[in-house]
């Protein structure tokens, strides 16, 4: 619909706007998910929703933004999973999963792998018999979506099975391919770590949440293991290749939106545990201080851009080192900020 209003000679110039619209959609669906499932202050719901739209996954895939469509669907799909287990309703899950499969069965299979790994972890941690019953509903909903999207998934799947990804043309076929995958250890690309961009605030909130909820062992284990499930691929190439169902060319973390989603929703969960449903504002931040902080941010950002522009064509590894230092510094500053700042709601102070 967007391109119906764009002249043919302006297609390339319009891609930035098109990309921005997809980012806005990602932020909206993420906010809708957090608002429905996480009882946290509006500030954190908004910050983490925007953070999802500006995640490293989005910034890395600027020139291949067709994959961003799944990033838009994913929060709605996880809301559908939440409705299955909370309300026993499968309509939203089946509808969004079908659309996702039609859009990209490859990325959607990664999502399904995560959904069932997460559900298995939840059953182990919380042992909820009622939720175990809803596992059947989740399975039947998944099967229904596969049937509804079979007209496009099956031809594409057959084509993929004949490709090099599944060992076609190689001695030993798919079995030897996966034996070789398990032997892989070292990551092939530095750019995989760019997936973690923009998670400094979320990381600080999670650390604070773990400290304050240290007596709730099951929650600590579930949240830690949930993050570990999806982030191990950053450290082990064999796990990364298994997530990708075989080999890949460039773009090593194609499911990076799941990493960002998991970290951000976990942070929003802990923000709700720490501050409740508080809708107040942070104390000690007068308008003058807010103005000074905003101006300082622009000045520091402008200086950083000016310095960076004097060194064009930096190697990827050098760029990564610079960004890693910035993210670590931001993480430490957020830790201090969360520790010293108070949240005021109707006269109540939450430390």
Reported as a single tens digit per residue, the pLDDT across 170-216 is 555 555 555 555 555 555 566 788 888 889 999 999 999 999 888 88
Q: Does residue 33 carry a pLDDT above 70? A: yes
Q: In the prediction, which pLDDT does 350 show?
A: 37
Q: Does residue 60 carry a pLDDT above 90? A: no
CA 152 to CA 161: how far, in whole Å? Answer: 15
Evaluate whether 237 touches 183 at the Cβ level (below 8 Å): no
Q: In the structure encoding, which two tokens stand for residue 115, read together?
A: 């959904």
Distance of CA 20 to the CA centre of its chain: 18
Give the pLDDT mean for 260-265: 96
Q: Does residue 161 carry a pLDDT above 50? A: yes
Q: In the structure encoding, which two tokens stand for residue 291, read together?
A: 């103005």
CA 296 to CA 275: how far, in whole Å? Answer: 28
User: To 10 degrees, the CA torsion angle through 67, 73, 79, 83?
Assistant: -120
**Span 91-105, pLDDT tens digits:** 999 999 999 999 989
Evaluate whether 204 touches 338 at the Cβ level (below 8 Å): yes
**Span 290-326, pLDDT tens digits:** 677 778 878 888 887 887 777 777 777 787 888 888 8
- Work out the mean pLDDT of the chain and round it to a whole number: 81
Q: Does residue 248 carry a pLDDT above 80? A: no
pLDDT range class, residue 284, cuts 50, 70, 90: very low
Q: Does residue 16 carry a pLDDT above 90? A: no
Evaluate whether 139 touches 86 at the Cβ level (below 8 Å): no
Q: Does residue 88 carry a pLDDT above 90? A: no
List Cβ neighbours of 258 (8 Å cut-off, separation of 6 or more): 74, 110, 111, 114, 230
Q: In the structure encoding, which two tokens stand for residue 260, read together?
A: 């960002």
């Amino acid at each position: 619909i967007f391109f119906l209003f764009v002249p043919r000679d302006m297609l390339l110039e319009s891609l930035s706007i098109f990309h921005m619209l997809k980012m806005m959609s990602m932020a909206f669906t993420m906010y809708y998910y957090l608002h429905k499932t996480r009882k946290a202050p509006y500030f954190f719901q908004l910050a983490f929703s925007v953070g999802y739209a500006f995640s490293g996954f989005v910034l890395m895939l600027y020139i291949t933004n067709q994959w961003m469509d799944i990033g838009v669907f994913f929060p709605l799909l996880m809301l559908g999973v939440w409705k299955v287990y909370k309300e026993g309703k499968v309509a939203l899950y089946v509808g969004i999963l079908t659309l996702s499969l039609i859009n990209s069965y490859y990325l959607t299979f990664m999502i399904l792998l995560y959904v069932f790994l997460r559900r298995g972890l939840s059953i182990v941690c919380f042992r909820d018999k009622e939720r175990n019953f809803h596992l059947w509903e989740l399975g039947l909903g998944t099967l229904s979506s596969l049937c509804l999207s079979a007209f496009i998934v099956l031809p594409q799947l057959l084509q993929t099975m004949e490709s090099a990804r599944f060992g076609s043309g190689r001695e030993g076929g798919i079995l030897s391919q996966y034996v070789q995958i398990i032997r892989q250890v070292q990551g092939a690309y530095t750019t995989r770590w760019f997936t973690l961009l923009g998670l400094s605030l979320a990381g600080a909130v999670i650390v604070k949440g773990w400290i304050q909820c240290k007596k709730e062992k099951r929650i600590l284990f579930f949240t830690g293991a949930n993050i570990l499930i999806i982030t191990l691929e950053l450290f082990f190439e064999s796990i990364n290749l298994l997530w990708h169902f075989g080999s890949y060319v460039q773009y090593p973390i194609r499911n990076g939106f799941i990493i960002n989603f998991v970290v951000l929703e976990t942070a929003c969960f802990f923000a709700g545990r720490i501050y409740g449903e508080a809708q107040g504002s942070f104390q000690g931040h007068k308008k003058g201080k807010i103005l000074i902080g905003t101006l300082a941010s622009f000045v520091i950002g402008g200086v950083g851009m000016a310095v960076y522009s004097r060194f064009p064509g930096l190697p990827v590894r050098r760029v990564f080192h610079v960004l890693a230092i910035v993210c670590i510094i931001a993480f430490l500053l957020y830790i201090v900020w969360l520790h010293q700042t108070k949240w005021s709601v109707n006269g109540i102070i939450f430390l």
